[in-house]
Amino acid sequence: MRLREKSKNKTFNSKTNSTYGKRSTDKDGMSFVKINLTKTSNTMNRRHANNVNAGSTADIAFLLLIFFLVTTTIQTDEGLNRKLPPKAPETKSHDVKEKNLFLVLINAEGELLVEDEPMALNDLKDKAIAFIDNGSGEGDEFCDYCKGPKDKTSSVNPQKAIISIQTDRTTKYKDYITVQNELVAAYNDLRNREAERLYGKSYLELEELYNDQSFKGNKALIKQKIDKIRSLYPLNISEAEPVGLKD
């Protein structure tokens, strides 16, 4: 191909891919430049364009793994915070009078049978308080701080009162924990009442003071008060072996 131009003050510019040759002059005195056009092949470019650079995929996957490990919340099983008592020496068994026993049955559906009567969960704490604080004892079994109804068919004093929980083999763990919480709450209410009467502080406040690492007071005295309240209302909750209860 020949592109002609006047040889005076004009400059040839090409925006195509080309290889310039030597400037020449034809027979008419016109100068021209031979241009060799190079045919560009896009085969190689297309081949490179189709390949995806996966070099950073492993880094991205690793960052996502760290993100999910940091943000994921692992649920833990709920339970009761209980301190097991030391192994006691073998002693003779003692018969418990029926009136000093408060029997709570939980069937497979989470329904309650308390003292052979169906009962709603919301009523369990008040019923347990009435049993523990009944105070029908006389003589050595008399309870001068009990404020219960003193029913002769119920417990004689808090030391002799025993709450027994029995579940079905298929009772849900959540239902069992809920019943336990209600019974412990009954004991805490009675302990708080006596601690307020004797020391002007609730039982739970005394425990908080004793467990407070920054407390500078007499912790030995606080411990004596806590033990005194616990002796007035000992936590007598018995857990019987699960059985096959009928609905």
Is the separation of the CB atoms in 157 and 133 below 8 Å? Answer: no
Each residue's pLDDT tens digit, 67-77:
888 888 776 66
Reduced to 3 states (helix: H, G, I; strand: E, B; else coil), residue 150 is coil
Each residue's pLDDT tens digit, 205-237:
999 999 999 988 899 999 999 999 999 999 999
Of 28-32, 59-63, 216-220, 234-238, the least confident? 28-32
- Strand-strand pairing, 2-5 and 101-106: unpaired
Provide the pLDDT for residue 20. 47
Asked whether the whole model's pTM tops 0.85, one would answer no
Residue showing tokens 């008399």: 142
Provide the pLDDT for residue 52. 62
What sign results for the dihedral spanned by CA atoms 170, 174, 175, 180? positive
Is the separation of the CB atoms in 164 and 102 below 8 Å? Answer: yes
What is d(CA 220, CA 243) in angstroms, rounded to the nearest whole number? 44
Between 122 and 50, residue with greater pLDDT: 122
Residue showing tokens 């000093």: 100
Provide the pLDDT for residue 88. 52
